[in-house]
Amino acid sequence: MDTEVLVAGAGPTGLMLANQLVRRGVRTLIIDRHAGPSLETRALGVQARTLEIYSHMGIADRALELGKRGTGGNIWADGQRRARVALSDAGEKVTPYPFLLVLGQDDNERIMGDHLRELGCSVQWNTALVSLTQQADSVTAVLKLADGSHRNILAAWVAGCDGARSVVRESNGITFAGAPYEHVFFVADTEMTGSMVPDEVNVYLFRNGFHLLFPMRGKDHWRIAGILPQAQRDKPDLKFDAVIPSLRNEGGEGLSIRSCTWFSTYRIHHRSAVRFRDRRCFLLGDAAHIHSPVGAQGMNTGLQDAYNLAWKLALVVKNQAKPALLDSYEQERVPVARALLNGTDRAFRLVVSDTWLAGLLRTKVLAKIAAFAVNRKAVQKAAFRTISQTGIRYPKSFLSKSLHGLPDTAPQAGDRFPWVLLRFAANGPVEDLFQKLSDTQFNLILIGQPPLPENAFAFDDDLVRVHAIAKDATNDDELSRAQIPQPSFYLIRPDGYIGLCGTRLETGDLRAYFAQNVYLNTAREQHVKERTAATG
């Protein structure tokens, strides 16, 4: 086998996957048909859930240093500011990162690419995947190299992170169901001043469309995203000048544009692959789903796909779990993509519809509803959880098992375990649970439970890190705030989601969960496999 996993595509999704696989000790080859990293900003919003993952990788500080924190959002209509939502309030106590980090895709790729190199793996640029054929226990991939020659390589698994025109998807004959929108999007990176609230996201709604303005690093730097006026949709080689009149129209007299360093137009589609897997090949990121950029979800969703698949693939590659575990990737990520496509499609149609009535809806009704809704704390919190991706759940996954006895209000199997600050040792310091969790292991949180018996696990102990929570008044308050009952136990998957939970931990339940839900190979099976491999 030339490699255990071939990652096709070194965009954000491929870089995240390669990072996660390499840090878990998986032999990985990552290729990209381009000569080097992309220099275009493209996606700009890094969501809280992505920053939580960056923190486990040790790159969150670098991202925070380079990015700009968007702590609020403002909605404008008819030249007036109609509503403001404070993201820092809505996300407080939900995540250590209660904001939208404005950091270009190029910077995200650079940070992840640098980290991958530090882990000892580099992207093989100028290398395109041309086709692939699957066998029972491997995949043959045909690569085109920089000098135009072809090379066949054998991989145990292939991850298609190769974007909207994915060769992995097409080689496996997987339909990319959906359609293009008739609208044409534009993006522009500018230096300008005007009515915008500094350091915050500004949304301008007007009769003929909308403009989103994101604060970028540096003084008066703004990313503008919007749709082209109808009359300009089919004009080739359009320049930034073409959108200035409509910007001035709703940005007001005070708008002063000094420069534009990047302007691009593109047609967008909403499509989803009908399957995210074909035997030994997986689809992730834009190869699996594309949608409108309204909501800054595209790049982040690809990163979550990669984080979801990586730990499962690593356990299977290292023979610690059976391949049946991998079925949960599709089961968990397809519904997330479908919900995202439906949600962004609805929002997009509302903000871009060309009809006169929709124009009226946008400036009058939508702005009013937004102003009313954002003043409601519960609405703000729900919106934050959705947009920040901290609210993604997998309740229907076969990996999610809540045992009897937990109240409905408690965190349940399939939820991301809540962010809490706890005292782990009696009289010790109050610490951030997310910093204590290992994302290369399962984590077992024990609250008011007797100590675990010797040999509680029928497998390698390194797979689970145990955290016993001390009985303490501070802990009582924090647990009750997060609606975590006492006594209880929570087995958290490496990607931070609750796998198994209940009120009283029985070793038998734990063992059964690992054997029947996670499909872990028992120590004996593992031992036999290793011996067979050693003797050939």
Ligand X SMILES: Cc1cc2nc3c(=O)[nH]c(=O)nc-3n(C[C@H](O)[C@H](O)[C@H](O)COP(=O)(O)OP(=O)(O)OC[C@H]3O[C@@H](n4cnc5c(N)ncnc54)[C@H](O)[C@@H]3O)c2cc1C
**Could you list the residues that contact ligand X (CB under 6 A)?**
8-14, 31-34, 42-45, 105, 128-129, 161-163, 167, 187, 225, 264, 266, 285-286, 293, 296-299, 302
Q: Between 299 and 321, whose beta carbon lies closer to ligand X?
A: 299
Q: Tell me the closest approach of the beta carbon of residue 280 to ligand X, in angstroms.
A: 17
| CB 57 to ligand X: min, Å | 16
331 CB neighbour count, 10 Å cutoff: 17
Compute the least distance from the CB of residue 285 to ligand X, in Å. Answer: 2
Q: How far is the CB of 295 from ligand X (least distance, A)?
A: 8
Report how far residue 387's alpha carbon sits from residue 100's, in angstroms, rounded to the nearest whole number.
Answer: 9
Long-range contacts of 421-425 (CB under 8 A, 24+ apart): 421/478, 422/469, 422/474, 422/475, 422/478, 422/479, 423/469, 423/470, 423/472, 423/474, 423/475, 424/467, 424/468, 424/469, 424/470, 425/470
Q: Please answer whether residues 257 and 192 qualify as being in contact, where contact means their C-beta atoms are separated by less than 8 angstroms.
A: yes
Task: Tell me the two tokens of residue 109.
Answer: 């790729």
Cβ proximity to ligand X, 299 vs 351, nearer residue: 299
| Residue-wise DSSP of 429-443 | -EEEHHHH--TTSEE
Residue among 294 and 406 whose Cβ is closer to ligand X: 294
Q: For ligand X, which is the closer residue by CB, 31 or 281?
A: 31
Residue 44 Cβ vs ligand X, minimum distance, rounded to whole Å: 5
Half-sphere exposure of 45 (CA within 13 A, CB side): 26
Q: How far is the C-alpha of 278 from the C-alpha of 135, rounded, in Å?
A: 12
Taking the complex as a whole, the smallest distance from the CB of residue 517 to ligand X amounts, in Å, to 29
Residue 334 C-beta: closest distance to ligand X, Å: 16
Give 8 or 358: the residue with its C-beta nearer to ligand X.
8
Cβ atoms of residues 268 and 182 within 8 Å: no
Q: Which of residues 129 and 336 has its CB atom nearest to ligand X in the complex? A: 129
Q: Which is nearer to ligand X, 297 or 517 (CB)?
A: 297
Q: Shortest Cβ distance from residue 175 to ligand X (Å)?
A: 18
For residue 495, the minimal CB distance to ligand X (Å) is 18
- Which residue lies nearer to ligand X by CB, 196 or 284? 284
Rounded CA separation 198/2 (Å): 51
Nearest to ligand X of 89, 330 (CB atom): 330
How many Cα atoms within 13 Å fall on the side-chain side of residue 29?
18
Terminal CA-CA length for the chain: 15
CA 391 to chain centre: 12
**β-bridge mates for residue 23, sequence order:** none
User: Minimum Å distance from CB 251 to ligand X?
Assistant: 19
* Residue placing its CB nearer to ligand X in the complex, 125 or 398: 125
Task: Give dist(CA 405, CA 442) in Å, integer.
Answer: 22
What element of type H or E holds 183?
strand 176-193
Q: Are strands 150-160 and 281-283 parallel, antiparallel or unpaired?
A: parallel
| Closest approach of ligand X to the CB of residue 276, in Å | 12
CA nearest to 280, candidates 124, 141, 127: 141
How many other CB atoms sit within 10 Å of the CB of residue 35? 8
- Give whichever of 286 and 472 is closer to ligand X, judged by the CB atom: 286
φ and ψ at residue 437, rounded to 5 degrees: -70, 140
Helices and strands, counts by H and E, the chain: 16, 25
Pairwise CA distance, residues 110 & 67, whole Å: 13
| Gap between the Cα atoms of 368 and 82, Å rounded | 7
122, 114 contact by CB (below 8 A): no
